[in-house]
Amino acid sequence: MRLDELATMLALPQLEQDVAIAEERLLAALGRASEPQLRTASLRVATVPGKRLRPVFTVAAAQVAGATDLDRVHAASAAVELVQIGSLVHDDLFEEAGTRRGVPTVNATEGNTAALLAGNFILAAAASEAALSGQAVARMLAQTVAALCEGQVREMRDQFNPERTVDDYLSSIRGKTGVLFAAACRAGAYCADAPDEVVESFGRFGEEFGMAFQLLDDVLDVVVDPDRLGKPTGIDLATGVYTLPVILARELRSGPALRAQLDRRGSADLALVRSLIADAGTLSATLAEASRYAACASESIEHVEGDVAAGLRSLASTYIGWAVEHFTTPAGKVGLV
C-alpha cells in the first residue's frame, strides 16, 4: 500500500511527513560513518524502496497513545526501521542473496565481512536513535535485537530439516518478524509515556500482525514472480528454510514426492517443489492462518477508541487481501483459491 493510502486509512494526514522525517533521521545517522566504504554500503541498502510499515505503526501507536513530543516519535520510528534494515543485511548474508528489490546486496558487492560490519553498524545507529527517544524504547529495542538473533538461530537449526514442525516454524517467525512489528508499536506507545497495559495492547497488535505478515510473505515466496514482488523469490526453498506451505504439504497426498525432493537438499528441483505445494492446496491454508492472526491483531486493540485505532484494525483485516491481489499474477494464483 502507498503511504497516501495508509494515511487515509489510518486517519493520519501528516503520516507521509512523519515517515519522511524518520527517513531523513536514519539516513543522517548512517551518513555519519567516518569510513567511506561502510557509509556507502549502509546508505545504499537503506535507500532501497520498501514498505516502511514499521515506522507507520510507530507513528500510529504514538498518535493513539497521545504522544506530543514528535522528535521522540521520529527518533523511535527511525530506530525501528534501522533495526529492520540491519537485520535484512544480515539475512542477505546468511542467504547469500545477490540482490534485494533490484539493488545489489552488501555481501554480493563488498563481500561477507563488509556485510557483517555494515549490519552491525546499522544496528548501532538504531541504538543511538532509540536512546534519543527514551530509555524504555532503547531497552525494548535491545531486547528485540536479542529476540531476532534467537529467531534466526531457530531457523538455522532447522535448515534442510524435512521434519520441521509447525510449532518450530511459528516460534521462528515470531522471533524474526513478530517481535519487530511488536517493537514498532510499543515504541510509539512508549513515546507517549503510556501505561503498561496500553503498551502491551499495541505490542500484541504488532506481534499478531507480524505473524500474519510473515505467513503471507511465505506464500508470496512460493507463487509470485520476483520482478513483481521486488525481491528474489524461492530463497527459502533454495536455502532449506521450510515454511508452513511446505510443512503442511509434506503430510498430504503430494507428501512422498515432496519429501523425495526435500531429501535432495540443495539439489532439489525447485520448480517441481513449487508445483507440488500449489497442487496440495496448502497455500490457501497458510493464507487462512494469516487471516486468523490478522483477526487476533484487530481484537487486541478492539477496546481502543478513535479513528486511528479503527484504521489499524481495518489495515489488519484488509492487508492480506490487498497483497494477494497486488502481487500475484493470474498464473501465480494457482493453489490460492
Describe the crossing of helices 70-95 and 179-191 by its angle, rounded to 10 degrees. 170
Query: What is the predicted pLDDT for the residue at 333?
Result: 46
Return the closest-CA partner of residue 45 out of 7, 3, 126, 102: 102
Please give the helix or strand (H or E) that residue 104 lies within, else none: strand 103-104
Are 85 and 146 contacting, i.e. CB atoms less than 8 angstroms apart?
A: no
DSSP state of 100: E
User: What is the per-residue pLDDT for 229?
Assistant: 57
Q: Are 54 and 38 in contact (CB under 8 A)?
A: no
State the residue range of the domain holding 189: 3-333
Instruction: Return the pLDDT at 230.
Output: 56
Neighbour tally for 322: CB within 10 Å? 12
Q: Considering its fold, how many domains does the chain have in total? A: 1
CB 210 within 8 A of CB 181: yes
Compute mean pLDDT per 10 residues along the chain, 337 residues long, and list them.
Answer: 93 96 96 92 87 94 97 98 95 83 86 94 96 96 96 93 94 96 98 96 98 94 67 78 93 84 85 89 94 96 95 93 76 42
Of the candidates 328, 205, 219, 200, which has an alpha carbon nearest to the alpha carbon of residue 281? 219
The domain that contains 162 carries what CATH number?
A: 1.10.600.10
- What's residue 265's pLDDT? 83
